[in-house]
Amino acid sequence: MLHELLLALVGYTGDLIIDEREHHKSLGICLSPDAPISEQRSFKLASDISFIDPSERDLIEKLITLGFYYRELDRFATKSRNLSWIRAADVSPLDRASELSNPKSGKPSVYRRAIANGLVEILSVYKSAVLQLEQKLLSETMPILATVTQGLNKFFVILPPLYELILEIERDDIRGGQLLNLLHKRCHCGVPELQACIQRLLWHGHQVLYNQLSSWMIYGILQDQHGEFFIRRQEDRDVEYGSSISDTSEKLARLSTVDTSLTDWHLGFHIFLDMLPEYIHIRVAESILFAGKAIRVLRNPSPAIQFQDALSNQQTKKGSQKFHGSAVGVPFQKEVFLDVKTIGEELLPQSVADKIETMLLDLKESSEFHKRSFECSVDSIRAIAASHLWQLVVVRADLNGHLKALKDYFLLAKGDFFQCFLEESRQLMRLPPRQSTAEADLMVPFQLAAIKTIGEEDKYFSRVSLQMPSFGITVKSSQRDIPKTKAYTDGSSETSVGGWDGIALEYSVDWPLQLFFTQEVLSKYRRIFQYLLRLKRTQMELEKSWASVMHQEHTYFAKHRKDQMNCSISQPPQQCFRPMWRVREHMAFLIRNLQFYIQVDVIESQWNVLQSHIQDSRDFTELVGFHQEYLSALISQSFLDIGSVSRILDSIMTLCLQFCWNIENQESSQNTSELERITEEFNKKSNSLYTILRSSRLAGSQRAPFLRRFLLRMNFNSFFEATARGVLNVVRPRPSLPVLNQQ
């Protein structure tokens, strides 16, 4: 009987101690899986044993519950440590997608295997205690149950909670970071023995986590075969959110055509919050994600970097070829290519990788998880990765030179080039653009302006290309009132002259600058460029209209100088429009001040701030943040993000162009009413603009710190302030142009 009791304590039943669960199964009776823990313990003394006292029976049945817990824990450990899944390690993408879409499919778990290893350690201690009891009982002449109870008493506070733990793990299919989270919560208990056991299980789970972190943060490799790490590939996310497998495959095929490192950086990986333990902050997880992606970039440089030096050297020899469209590709030559591995070692020296490995190894060898030490190590690794990525992007790839080029061309810092371009294309832009040839038509004045103003030492101009996005016949509301005069419309179904507002620039960016200049960033630059180009075009048209009409009047007077006495009553053709020149001056005054405000107060000041940040920072992510702040400041301080202001500015520029075209193309007073309408509308819009900008919500806020200077220039003689009070609600004034007579 003694040996049968000892065998039952290690999970083996017999005639004296039976397993009621198996007995019920043989009778066709199944216990409910949701039954209480006390009912699930199935080790019992046989009911036909009559020679044992009731007190001893109770004591024996209490002892043999430990055997039941041991058996169940051992079954869980054996099942979780089963290595048969290794033979199926090379799973296809379809099978992997199927596993991710069906998380309870019984797939293996490396985290469960680690926990099982910890359980084996605990069970081995229990088994050793049973063996010591056997030796002690055999050495005694009169073995007593009290000896067994005394030797195994400490396991009554360890094995039952562990059994509850594995029940919860199997019932809810807990794995990965969720399993670490569960163990971390169970560590907070008031039983020192149980706390030590669960901490040991958590230590085993953290070993897997540290191995995955080492693979990710040292080599840039995501070692996560069963989707248990809190960093996942993007295609896994697509499957989780219900995308079909075919859609995912098509997306991957599409992305494979571009640079792999660029794809990995922007679209390759994401944080899977379901597997992120609660004791790891999301900020720390983002640092881990960034560090791994940065290491991937540094260890796997694009082939493009291998011939960039040769490309820049050959570009300086092209001469006039640089103005013939976009940059001509340099032929791939074998002598240009360097060893990719050598370049990777230059970008991330082995000593740096060893330093990262040492920090993670220190965390791994610690007996307990210290949150502060973990976060400090992650921050240090992230800083190392960000510093080397900064070295690659800022120093090696000449980030500041490209930022200066974007400022020159997208923010119109090269004013002579765009002045020349607008002058060369002025007559073309007075006709509606043709959908089929608009971009080709613009290339001629674009290339002429480049030849006249861009020097051969400008190595960045070859990256700039002009584009005319596809446009339909839909006309914006601000363009619908443009008169259909013969000078700038035709009878075709082409779009109106407002279609030229869609002119855009493209900038060719090589690796690794694509990590910095994303498509979102370049789209913001294009948006600002279209706004500034339209503003400059409006300013030029106002100046050209004055010069054109003055030239016509001088020609008229020179021709009719001898007949002046006989024709004293008649007026020159433009004489009736002379009151409008005051309106033109008001338009030019507003446009000039707005242009000066944006170019000097906004762009130059923000550029200086960005340059100071670039000089002081050695962190790639900081630079990205500073550049985003720079673009956001340009957009907000130029009022492009305020719908009411941007619509008014659009209307004002449209009215200015309408005014210029009407003045230049009329030879009599037949269009005076149209000019009066434009004047009235301009007065309303300009005063509405002034009223909005001087409001405390804008002028008193920090979003536009130099707005007060702009308002001071506009209202230096209190003209706008005086007229803004009454113009907004005035019906068409009589006599015409009353606002102009207030000065």
State the DSSP string of 556-567: HHHHTSTTTTTT
Q: Are residues 703 and 639 in the same domain?
A: yes
Does any domain span residue 159?
A: yes
Last residue of a domain, one of 364, 396, 428: 396
Q: Are residues 504 and 387 in the same domain?
A: no
CB 416 within 8 A of CB 453: yes
Say whether pTM exceeds 0.85.
Answer: no
Q: Are residues 80 and 137 in the same domain?
A: yes
Confidence of residue 323 (pLDDT cuts 50, 70, 90): very low
Last residue of a domain, one of 174, 206, 227: 174
Q: What is the mean pLDDT of the chain?
A: 76
CA angle 487, 490, 493 (to 5 degrees): 150
| pLDDT higher than threshold 70 for residue 33 | no
> Which pLDDT score is estimated for 453?
87
Does any domain span residue 338?
A: no
| pLDDT higher than threshold 60 for residue 505 | yes
Inter-helix orientation angle 159-171/110-139, to 10° = 150
> Which pLDDT score is estimated for 458?
84
| pLDDT higher than threshold 90 for residue 7 | no
Does any domain span residue 253?
A: no
| pLDDT higher than threshold 50 for residue 87 | yes
Confidence of residue 625 (pLDDT cuts 50, 70, 90): very high
| pLDDT higher than threshold 70 for residue 733 | no
Does any domain span residue 35?
A: yes
Does any domain span residue 308?
A: no
Q: Are residues 164 and 198 in the same domain?
A: no
Inter-helix orientation angle 643-665/580-596, to 10° = 140
CB 738 within 8 A of CB 705: no
CB 503 within 8 A of CB 533: yes
For residues 108 and 99, give the distance between their C-alpha atoms in angstroms, rounded to a whole number.
10
CA dihedral over 32, 36, 42, 48, signed as positive or negative: negative
Confidence of residue 212 (pLDDT cuts 50, 70, 90): very high
Closest alpha carbon to 399 in 670, 660, 622: 622
Residue 567's φ and ψ, nearest 5 degrees, are -115, 35
CA angle 181, 183, 186 (to 5 degrees): 115
Ranges 20-24, 371-375, 630-634: which has the least confidence = 20-24
Inter-helix orientation angle 159-171/192-219, to 10° = 40
Does any domain span residue 329?
A: no
Burial class (CB within 10 angstroms; exposed 0-12, middle 13-18, buried 19+) of 287: buried
**Residue 348 in 3-state DSSP?**
coil
Does any domain span residue 585?
A: yes
Q: Pick 269 or 260 by higher pLDDT.
A: 269
Does any domain span residue 490?
A: no
Q: Pick 240 or 142 by higher pLDDT.
A: 142
Q: Are residues 352 and 444 in the same domain?
A: no
CB 334 within 8 A of CB 258: no
CB 291 within 8 A of CB 353: no
CB 545 within 8 A of CB 663: yes
Residue 258: DSSP 8-state: S
Q: Are residues 219 and 262 in the same domain?
A: yes
Q: Are residues 553 and 650 in the same domain?
A: yes
> Which pLDDT score is estimated for 492?
35
Q: Are residues 458 and 584 in the same domain?
A: no
- Mean pLDDT computed over 254-262: 52
pLDDT digits (tens, 9 = 90+) for 369-409: 999 999 999 999 999 999 999 988 888 888 999 999 999 99
Confidence of residue 425 (pLDDT cuts 50, 70, 90): confident
Q: Are residues 625 and 532 in the same domain?
A: yes
Structure tokens at 581: 């020149």
CA angle 24, 26, 32 (to 5 degrees): 35
For residues 152 and 150, give the distance between their C-alpha atoms in angstroms, rounded to a whole number.
6
Give the count of domains, the chain: 4
Q: Are residues 157 and 222 in the same domain?
A: no
CB 176 within 8 A of CB 276: no
Q: Are residues 702 and 606 in the same domain?
A: yes
Per the structure, the complete domain to which residue 527 belongs is given by: 518-559+574-730
Residue 42: DSSP 8-state: -
Highest mean pLDDT, choosing among 26-40, 328-342, 456-470, 542-556: 456-470
Structure tokens at 552: 């016509």
Classify residue 332 as left (phi > 0), alpha (psi -120 to 50) or beta: beta
> Which pLDDT score is estimated for 636?
87
Q: Are residues 157 and 219 in the same domain?
A: no
